[in-house]
Amino acid sequence: MNEVQTALVLLVAILISVIHYLSHKVSGFMEKHHYKLLSFNGGLFLALLFLILLPEVITFSDTASVYFLMLLGFVIFHLAGKFLYQHVRNKKEMLGELKVMHEVGFFLDHFMLGFVLVTAVDVDPTLGFLIAIPIFLHTVSSSISMQHIHESAKTGTNKIILSLSTLLGVIVAVVLQVERDVQGAILALLLGMLLYIGIRDFIPREEKGYPILFLVGVGLVMLFWLVIG
């Protein structure tokens, strides 16, 4: 990327970080719409993974290794969750560990989006900045959802670190000029973790949720995908 493109990507990442940090200002207002928001974000998140992030990862390495590393990332998060539920007997301690897992997942999600944003701009500047649109929408909805899951995370160090996740992803991608195969391996592993997180956290279970809003989230990303395709 040239200097102008780098500056614009950093500006987008800073804007996303500000949205993260200020999301608690509107979380109370959005409380009554939590499952509507969660349904919309679930569709947006999964469509973003399958239509934009996965194809992007496949371009960095051979198909076999991508799917293996995705499976590995999925399995790691699944086993970590099962271990907490089955081996941590103290409920308060377990809830604390689960909170950490949610926050790690949130961080990885937005760190990877920052990484992908830089990669996309590097390949095709127009495509890269178009991808910023669904990333922005996902940022708004997932930040508010995160506030609902962890009301205690409104301030403090954790809040700052989570808010900076996308910006850190952008900085790492700009600074670390690693080989494409290495980038692909990292992104594939993170993608598997994110797939597990999306299924577990961003899709309302049983009778909860609004299928039509889920479809709206999917449809928006599909429309975007068709435009850039």
Mean pLDDT lowest for which of 111-115, 129-133, 170-174? 129-133
Q: What is the C-alpha separation between 65 and 74, in angstroms, rounded?
A: 14
Q: What pLDDT does 151 receive? A: 52
In a domain? residue 101: yes
In a domain? residue 161: yes
In a domain? residue 123: yes
Q: What pLDDT does 117 receive? A: 80
Q: What pLDDT does 103 receive? A: 74
In a domain? residue 188: yes
Q: What is the C-alpha separation between 20 and 72, in angstroms, rounded?
A: 29
Q: What pLDDT does 68 receive? A: 92
Q: What percent of the chain has pLDDT over 70?
A: 71
What's the mean pLDDT in 155-177?
81
In a domain? residue 63: yes
CA distances from 226 to 8, 19, 121, 218, 222 (A): 25, 27, 18, 12, 6
Q: What percent of the chain has pLDDT over 90?
A: 8
Q: Domain range spanning residue 113? A: 3-23+44-228
In a domain? residue 68: yes
Number of C-alpha atoms within 13 angstroms, CB side, residue 66?
17
Query: pLDDT at residue 28 above 70?
Result: no
Residue predicted with more confidence, 102 or 215: 215
What's the mean pLDDT in 155-167?
78
Q: What pLDDT does 121 receive? A: 79
The length of the chain is 229
Please check whether residue 117 is in contact with residue 97, taking contact to mean a CB–CB distance below 8 angstroms: no
Q: What is the C-alpha separation between 211 and 201, in angstroms, rounded?
A: 16
Query: pLDDT at residue 179 above 80?
Result: no
Q: What is the C-alpha separation between 228 and 90, in angstroms, rounded?
A: 50
In a domain? residue 35: no
Report how many domains make up the chain.
1
In a domain? residue 30: no
Q: What is the C-alpha separation between 29 and 21, in angstroms, rounded?
A: 16
Q: What is the C-alpha separation between 32 and 90, in angstroms, rounded?
A: 31
**Torsion, Cα of 113, 114, 115, 121 (10° steps):** 100
Helices (H), 89-179: 91-123, 125-149, 157-163, 165-175
CA distances from 153 to 20, 142, 167 (A): 11, 14, 19
**Dmax of the chain from CA atoms?**
53
Q: What pLDDT does 168 receive? A: 92
Name the 3-class secondary structure at 229. coil
Q: What is the C-alpha separation between 56 and 213, in angstroms, rounded?
A: 26
Query: pLDDT at residue 98 above 60?
Result: yes
